[in-house]
Structure 1
């Protein structure tokens, strides 16, 4: 079957290339132009629409080249499989990504009471550096001794307070409860 003198394979391949490139570019710059599509994103996501036509072109091209089935039947099979794949993409990839936690930031107040390790010795009247391990990652912070006592490298510390991004620490002494 031909449309405007072009065979269906050419139309499907052209659609695959064009919509594939547009989809790729949209994924790269979607954060920059997200506001322009905000009105439509509640109805149809541009990512889903572009993916639908990309998959339609790919399925149509493959079926046209390897089968001798009627072109209208191939169009229907391609549209159906594209709809199913795009729905799966939306349900299993895009929706979970949209609801995922986007930040691994921490509040400085959350550091109080945590135990860390001195990586740069803390002098009695100066600053050192401590290392705090956490679930979301490791943190290195500038530290000062709470009691103006020097704390050596490798010592365990307890964070008592945080002021202006500097943690105030004291040596950590683990006591056993009997």
Structure 2
């Protein structure tokens, strides 16, 4: 089969090379296109490029190894590309996007957390606090929420966060149970 005077296997090969080049460019400049996928909700450039790659590679191989008609090969290529693209999205892209979000924290999420003073907080001054999490240790500047100094090694409770500074109060972990 020929399209515009060009054999279909040549078209598959051109699409495959173009999708490969665009995929490499997407690796380098993907942040620009990520805004498009977030705005539209369904036009994910990674999935589109993967579909074109799967489609063209399958079509090219099937044109050379099978005696089937070009229309049947094109239909099978689309079906295989859709299946592989769906699997890629479900088992790779979605888990990766949620894993990336779970490793970060927001300043707002630090409210209510208990930390330890590593640099003492003087009255009307700043010190430093560390907060342990399952992903590591977060170190942030801190100041007292109320008047008075806070000694090194004290446990503190984060009350508020403003401009990257944690406002803390001394925290006493009272484990006594009421009788």
Fold shared, TM-score > 0.5 on shorter chain: yes
* Structure 2 partner of 1:45: 43
Give me the TM-score of the superposition, normalised by structure 2.
0.66
- Aligned partner of 2:159 among 151, 158, 161: 161
Secondary structure in structure 1 of the residue aligned to 2:34: coil
The alpha-carbon distance between structure 1 residues 49 and 118, as it changes in their structure 2 partners (threshold 3 A), is closer
Q: How does 1:108-127 map to 2 (within 5 A)?
A: 111-112=111-112, 114-124=113-123, 126-127=125-126
Deviations 1:46-79 (A, max 9, x none): 63444333211111122234x1423424323212
Give me the TM-score of the superposition, normalised by structure 1.
0.66
- Aligned partner of 1:30 among 33, 36, 40: 33
Superposition RMSD on alpha carbons, in Å?
3.8
Shift of 1:96: 6.8
- Distance in 2 between the 1:18 and 1:25 partners? 11
Shift of 1:16: 0.7
User: What are structure 1's unaligned runs of at least 5 residues?
Assistant: none
- How many equivalent pairs are there? 167
Q: How does 1:1-178 map to 2 (within 5 A)?
A: 1-3=1-3, 6-23=6-23, 25=25, 28=30, 29-32=32-35, 34=36, 41=40, 45=43, 47=45, 48-65=47-64, 67-72=65-70, 73-92=72-91, 104-107=105-108, 111-112=111-112, 114-124=113-123, 126-135=125-134, 138-145=137-144, 146=146, 148-152=148-152, 155-159=153-157, 161-162=159-160, 164=162, 165-170=165-170, 172-177=171-176
Contact preservation (8 Å) 1:120, 1:130: yes
Contact preservation (8 Å) 1:115, 1:156: no
The alpha-carbon distance between structure 1 residues 71 and 53, as it changes in their structure 2 partners (threshold 3 A), is farther
- Distance in 2 between the 1:46 and 1:150 partners? 50
